[in-house]
Chain A
Amino acid sequence: MKRDIEDVTSISAADLEKLSKEAAAEATPSRAKIMWGEFKADKPAMASLFILIFFILFVIVASMFINTPKMMETNLMGYYAKPFTPEYWLGADSGGRSIAKELIVGSRNSISIAIGLTIISSTFGICWGLISGYYGGMVDLAMQRVYDFMMIIPMLMTIIVIVTIIPHYNAITLTLILSIFYWMGTSRLIRSRTLAESQKDYVAASKTSGTGNLKIIFREIMPNISSLIIVDTTLSFAENIGVETGLSFLGFGLPMGTPSLGTLIANANDPENITGYWWTWFPAALEIIVLCLSISYIGQVMRRATNAAQRRGKQQD
């Protein structure tokens, strides 16, 4: 059988190296290169990327050097200490705790929870949507009823109840609890695109080429909706920072004694803090705004990189 093809062509094993070199010279640039070109063309996005990476690395590394239980101890001498002093860079709260240190540890907690939540809920939502959209029929029907059921549960109330009745929980269990309720939006979005995508001829071609269903879903269809996945994931990351922060702000997030961006912003619950002691809540609020803006800039660039018509970077092919 192999002989047949060799009879017709003059290409043999001897030419392989030369020809693959020829092909490599003409190869289209990789996705990573295109994305980098796109970042270079958009200065605010480039700045956002550096701010985000630098900030995440900074809070992770810096928080290793901070002794959290000691930091959270009340120190009467530092009662609402003013900012920009050698001991308290960003001042202190009513317990005399350093806002700067709380901000670093709190950011690490909040960002880790947001990353964990995004990874778990997006992965699950993407798989759910892909499988539901690809198989269709009864599978789709059953999976979408589960989706409907999850949608009608009042999310915030249920989370608060679960958090209240669970005796001991930490950052990890909180992430898992939140993940149960945050995959639906992604799944529905992915399902709608998969429904359209799985009707295309290349899926039929893969089937006739003998490729299995799971491989078609994750190796053929998923790369084709990657732009949607990337954009959705970056935006839901920004949103997920808000989820934990919001819960902590309400007092149902991380347990007492664990700082987070939400607990810092909760200082603004006190009118006196808003007017008199602005440093207790302002840095955390500013940080969240900067983070969310950066992420949305990065998301825009990623979306443009995956869509050739919208690219601003230098054309490379």
Chain B
Amino acid sequence: MSLIEINDLKVHYPIRGGFWNRIVDNVKAVDGVTFNIEAGETYGLVGESGSGKSTTAKAIIGLEKATSGTVMYKGKDVTKGENRRKLDYNHDVQMIFQDSLSSLNPRKRIEDVIAEPLRNFEHLDKEEEKLRVLQLLDIVGLDADALYKYPHQFSGGQRQRIGVARAVATHPKLIIADEPVSALDLSVQAQVLNFMKKIQRQFGISYLFISHDLGVVRHMCKNIAIMTRGRIVEVGTRDDIYNNPMHIYTKRLLAAIPETNVNHREEHRKHRLEIEKIYQEQQATYYDKDGMAFPLVKVSPTHSVALPPHLAKEFEQQSENEGVNV
């Protein structure tokens, strides 16, 4: 059984207007997202800005109200606040934020920042709590002298590690990492990512890793979902996505990864332009008339793609035939 199951999650924001301030339309930030996160794995959620990745994450952790759909954890729907409280949900599910500075209260010392979840969930006495904070600081590679400092006295990488320390403090089962390294420079990115991996091995934590950096996602994640305009367009293992992308949006996204090999610069450029051309040509067929992606179709046991209806039919027949063969 999966650790957490997200089923047809929707988050719509009403647009109000007209006389009486009625709801005239909805912004479909997240529109029917379904995926499962297994225990101990890293699940990647990739997409451009405004594709609804962060909103999905916030709806899962309970910061954003879900319009419809369920998030099942331990057999309970945790989109309801009541269930979250009953399960001590935030004891098991924590979050790492993108902006390390604004996610740490500038008026609190590091000790209080890291101890906050401990105070709410574990109720240790003062000595034990301080010891635990020191141990957490040690795990994230910071010295004990950080204890009484304020967040602004640290560098970006150190701050993000403090954020990680806070997230692992209660020993959660799932950490939602909302673009945890996109505000950091490359060397620090590697540092924080490796360190997140190390913690995962040690504690068996699952991550929901949100990013728009495909290189980082490749390094971190086993399963990946590509999101655009509030819907998932392609789901698969790392191999499926990187070696056999089927949706034009995924192809375009992959083509956008910068190549460091300057010798083949012209070829890469040609390749990119080709993909872009295909994208512009086929855009109309891959999205429905409202500009939304089509429902997902299974193309292999691990791989699903939001294919347009005519291609989808082909695959369905194919899989039926295979079913008969088996």
Contact = CB atoms under 8 A, between A and B. Distances in A.
Most A C-beta atoms less than 10 A away, residue of B98, B131, B146: B131
Interface in B121-166: 121, 127, 130-132, 134-136, 138-139, 143-150, 153, 163, 166
B148 A11 contact: no
B97 A4 contact: no
Most A C-beta atoms less than 10 A away, residue of B62, B88, B148, B202: B148
Most B C-beta atoms less than 10 A away, residue of A16, A26, A210: A210
Interface string A1-20: 11011111111110110011
Contact of B144 (A20, A28, A226): A20
Interface in A193-222: 200-202, 204-211, 220
B90 A208 contact: yes
B121 A23 contact: no
A224 interface: yes
Contacts of A205: 95, 97, 103-105, 163, 166
Interface in A1-59: 1-2, 4-13, 15-16, 19-20, 22-28
A210 B103 contact: no
A297 to B, nearest CB: 25
A317 interface: yes
A209 B167 CA distance: 8
A15 B139 CA distance: 15
Given A9-B135, A201-B102, A204-B63, A209 B144 contact: no
Nearest to B102: A201
Contacts of B171: 1, 4-5
Interface in B279-306: none
Contacts of B111: 23
Given A28-B150, A317-B153, A4 B117 contact: no
A11 B135 contact: yes
Contacts of B127: 13, 16
A19 B144 contact: yes
Contact of A201 (B62, B99, B109, B130): B99
B107 A209 contact: no
Contact of A202 (B98, B104, B149): B104
B147 A28 contact: no
A206 B116 CA distance: 8
A8 B131 contact: no
B99 A16 contact: no
A5 B166 contact: no
B79 interface: no
Interface residues of B, number: 49
Interface residues of A, number: 39
B148 A208 contact: no
B94 interface: yes
B233 to A, nearest CB: 28
A223 interface: yes
Interface in A151-206: 200-202, 204-206
A17 to B, nearest CB: 10
A173 to B, nearest CB: 38
A80 B93 CA distance: 79
A136 B287 CA distance: 37
A133 B229 CA distance: 31
B91 A9 contact: no
B134 A210 contact: no
A201 B120 CA distance: 18
Contacts of A28: 109, 148-150, 153
20 contacts: A5-B136, A7-B202, A8-B139, A9-B135, A20-B130, A20-B147, A23-B146, A26-B148, A201-B98, A201-B103, A204-B63, A205-B105, A205-B166, A206-B116, A208-B90, A208-B94, A210-B88, A220-B108, A224-B105, A224-B106
Interface of A: 1-2, 4-13, 15-16, 19-20, 22-28, 200-202, 204-211, 220, 223-224, 226, 317
Interface of B: 58, 61-63, 88, 90-91, 93-95, 97-99, 102-109, 111, 116-117, 120-121, 127, 130-132, 134-136, 138-139, 143-150, 153, 163, 166, 171, 202-203
Given A209-B94, A210-B120, A220-B108, 9 more contacts: A16-B130, A22-B143, A22-B144, A22-B145, A28-B109, A28-B150, A201-B98, A206-B105, A207-B90
Top 10 A-B residue pairs of the complex, sorted by shortest distance between their CB atoms: A27-B148, A23-B147, A26-B145, A201-B103, A210-B120, A19-B144, A209-B117, A223-B107, A202-B105, A201-B102
